[in-house]
Amino acid sequence: MLLIGLTGSLATGKSTVSTLLSQSPYNLPIIDADVLAREVVEPGTPGYNNILKHFQSTTPDLLLQSPNERKGRPLNRAALGRRVFGSTPSRQRDRKILNSIVHPAVRWAIAKSILYHYLCGQWAVVLDIPLLYDSRLDIFAP
């Protein structure tokens, strides 16, 4: 199976290319790392639980107020971003912790998706991974 790596910075046309490749005549499945990164930290997942374990006691607004969630309140991504983005040593440390939780989960989700499409007989899959090289995910699309 052919793995097609699609990478680039913000506003470089990845979504446009993904859309074109997912439609006729190509009809290729798209594995979107950004979508997977959100899925692996949804309430009830191991990623969500690990984020709570590491950040909840020191980030009071880490969870959104949403009483209808059965598996747990969703993460307040803005609050988590304020906690991990910046140049201070503590924020850099927290970002490394967050990446150590999210990146392996995304890698596993990508691997499962590739296997699924392979078993379904797809001849090619597009891996839409903005940080393909930075995250060392080019192992999937050399």
The pLDDT of residue 109: 96
CA dist., res. 101 & res. 91, Å (int): 15
Please give the model's pTM, rounded to 2 decimal places: 0.86
Burial class (CB in 10 A: 0-12, 13-18, 19+), 110: buried
The pLDDT of residue 129: 86
Average pLDDT of 115-120? Answer: 97
pLDDT in tens, 17-41: 999 999 999 999 999 999 999 999 9
Which is higher by pLDDT, 13 or 76?
76
Contact 142, 4 (CB under 8 A): no
